[in-house]
Structure 1
Amino acid sequence: MQTPTLVDLGMRPFFQQQLTLEELEHCSLGRVIEHHKTEVVVLAGNDALRLSLNPNIDGICVGDWVVFNGDRLLRVLERQSLFQRKAVGSARARQFIAANIDTVFIVSSLNDDFSLNRIERYLALAKETNVEPVIVLTKADLCADADDHRQQVQSLDSLLSVYCVNALAPDELDLLKSYCRRGRTVAFMGSSGVGKSTLVNGLLGSEQMDTGEIREQDSKGRHTTTYRAIKWLPEGGLLMDTPGMRELQLSDAKEGIKLTFADIESLASHCRFQDCQHQNEPGCAVLDALEKGEISARRLDNFHKLLREDAHNSATLAQKRAKDRAFSKMVNTVQEQARSGKKFK
């Protein structure tokens, strides 16, 4: 491939308009393609530069556009999209997953790990960030009723793009290549062992990601991807593979949940009470639709579950932000008093 331009890397007016004249004249611009514990790899043209993380830059992640000077990171440009989640095992922290993604392939296998609830969870995350979701159901060659599973997923949203594939059959991946054109960035999300790495290798045209075997006792996969990285696709786009996320929890994703469950939200507008919780209230249009079989109990239960989870996680994150603001205010007060010669009591 020739030296990639900024456009090849996904540059567009949204990012260009954020640069100052001084930055254009004296600094460089690049995109984060790998994120490690103490450093990031930034691609600028043909050069892949390893830059140490700047403690003054908060929350940098793969897919970010960054301004740098020599080996010094200066700042991160405002993101067009950002996938994030409540950090695993944390009550308050938030983890950034990927930035500036155009299309996210939500991957689910057609074995015993298939779960509509999990797909709805990923859809809520995608819709919250205004990124195009595409559902990819893998291991179709091992499933006797693959089309039935596809119809179940399609019933979640009639406009949703849903594909059943055997990731080991190159011709079956052609349908996905239209999303991988020049200047576009695609990401993969899904639980461990659903075939993401095999799918990535198929689109890349080579074995660049390790793959693992499936445990026979529970159809679960062994986690094979251990860090987030962007790679070039033959069609000219960029592909990001992410580690499997077994504990993906939502936070600040209420609008994404509502968009994912648009049918329930539409019914809710006809409930007798505006604050109807769709539990046992009289005149509830959602419960009426449930009784008539227009929506499933599984879908309504998952709607309630995701809303509760989002409300809880959003509240704990809001508490952390408030605590951080209070601490910063106290530090500023101490510093101001020290500068003015006043004794802090």
Structure 2
Amino acid sequence: MSDIFDDPHDLAALGWSEFFAAQLAPGEGYLTPVRIASVHRSRLVVRTTGGQVTLDAPPQAGTRDFAVGDWALSDPEAGAVARRLDRKTVLRRRTEDRAGRQLIAANVDTLFIVTSCNDDFNPARLERYLAVVNEAGAEPVIVLTKIDAVADPEPWLRQALALQRDLQVLTLNAKDPAAAQVLAPWCGPGRTVALIGSSGVGKSTLLNTLAGKSGDGAQATGGIRESDAKGRHTTTARSLHATAMGGWVIDTPGMRTLHVSEAAGGLQTLFAEIAELAPRCRFRDCTHAHEPGCAVLAAVADGRLSADRLERWRKLDQENRANTPATTGPRGRRGPRR
């Protein structure tokens, strides 16, 4: 398999690491590592060390099995992907009109959760993003945009910092070239970031700033309605772009709805203060709603924990339990139940 590593520095620049190299099997030396740049109905556009090419999906799999950011092995003679490699991180979301969950991005180091200093800022929705990103295994960073449109971004900054312990929160004007320097620590060579958030918060503008795109090569951008600060969808598909700092950025369409499922670990990280109080409750199955001896309710009563924060945890916890498959039935005859 030595021919795969003829120029390991080029592969590393695409985000390749030992995690993926360890998955190569004997006899696969003729295959070429590629990274998925965009997914279409019947074809996959991939990045290689020599440029960008279009390939067929494997015969036994469809393009729905691939996410932007995936690493795969391609057969150059067949002009097709042979197989996908295991993911280091993966961001999914549950949707009402699909079986299973929708793939958003894979092998991302940092998720920039983009929101703006206006009516789009919604703590409950940001907590949903954080729960999903935590569960995906990537580092969440909240990016507050449109600071040029407000007198003082400090109130939004304080609210964002309170959402999760040790959370990184950045403030910037997406149109300002200096925004790239604010995000540079996460966008270095071989690093991959993704932009998620609602429409109209500046994701496409931020992508153009990071990638140094302008003119005809720039991603289309759109404004927002002044009445409700909601924007139009200008990004219609996920795609991988090179950044001016040597890394990679994945743009995603705006998401107004994000259902939480299979994210128990992500919620525990998000609501760490509640998770730490729970073992002190009198009852092991305490719901933190009405039970006597509840340490969480005691923290609300004495002001250590916000009642609104507890209510948002309760809502997300119940939603996660309802949406997460459970096993039922006697041993040996278990089946999925929602």
TM over 0.5: yes
Distance 1:31 1:38 in 2: 17
Task: Check the 8 A contact 1:186/1:240 in 2, yes or no.
Answer: yes
Q: Which residue, out of 265, 274, 289, partners 2:275? A: 265
Q: Judging changes above 3 Å, is the alpha-carbon distance between structure 1 residues 104 and 142 closer, same or farther for their aligned structure 2 residues?
A: same
Asked if 1 retains the 8 angstrom alpha-carbon contact of 2:261 and 2:319, the reply is yes
Q: Which residue of 2 aligns with 1:7?
A: 12
Match of 1:275 among 274, 279, 285: 285
Verify: 1:285 aligned to 2:290, yes or no.
no
Percent of aligned pairs with the same amino acid: 43
Deviation at 1:250, TM superposition (A): 1.7
**Paired residue for 2:55?**
51
Cα distance, 1:302 vs. partner? Answer: 1.2
| Counterpart residue number, 1:180 | 187
User: After alignment, is 197-206 or 229-238 more displaced?
Assistant: 197-206
Give 1:80-229 correspondences, 5 Å limit.
80-90=88-98, 92-207=99-214, 208-229=218-239
Q: Distance between the aligned counterparts of 1:138 and 1:88, measured in 2? A: 30
Letter in 1 for 2:223: E
1:3 and 1:45 in contact (8 A); partners too:
no
Q: Is the 8 A contact 1:103 1:132 kept in 2?
A: yes
Match of 2:331 in 1: none
CA contact (8 A) 1:36 1:227 kept: no
Structure with the higher helix share, 1 or 2: 1
1-side partners of 2:151 and 2:51: how far apart? 47
TM-score normalised by L of structure 2: 0.89
- With normalisation by structure 1, the TM-score equals 0.87
How far 1:317 moved relative to its partner?
A: 11
Q: Distance in 2 between matches of 1:209 and 1:316?
A: 42
Structure 1 residue 35: deviation in Å? 1.0
What stretches of structure 2 of length at least 5 have no aligned partner? Answer: 1-6, 329-333
Q: Which letter maps to 2:185?
A: S
Instruction: Tell me the residue number matched to 1:30.
Output: 34
Say if 2:312 is the partner of 1:302: yes
Aligned 8 A contact 1:66 1:74 in 2? yes
- Structure 1 pair 67–172 and aligned structure 2 pair: CA distance change class (3 A): closer
3-state SS of paired residue (1:189): strand
Larger Rg, first or second structure (1 or 2) = 1
Q: What's the C-alpha RMSD, in Å, of the aligned pairs?
A: 2.2
List, as ranges, runs of 4+ consecutive aligned residues in structure 1 with deviation greater than 3 Å: none
Rounded Cα–Cα distance in structure 1 between residues aligned with 2:82 and 2:175: 43
CA contact (8 A) 1:4 1:46 kept: no
Counterpart of 1:53, as a letter, is A
Q: Deviations over 1:153-188 (max 9, x none)?
A: 112234111011111122244121111100100001
Q: How many residues align?
A: 319
SS of 2:11's partner is: coil
Residues 289-339 of structure 1, C-alpha deviation per residue, up to 9 Å, x if partnerless?
Answer: 112222212211111111111112213899xx957xxxxxxxxxxxxxxxx
Q: Secondary structure at the match of 1:170?
A: coil
Identify the residue that residue 66 of structure 1 maps to in structure 2: 72
Cα contact 1:3–1:46 (8 A) shared by 2: no
Q: For 1:194, what is the secondary structure of its paired residue?
A: coil
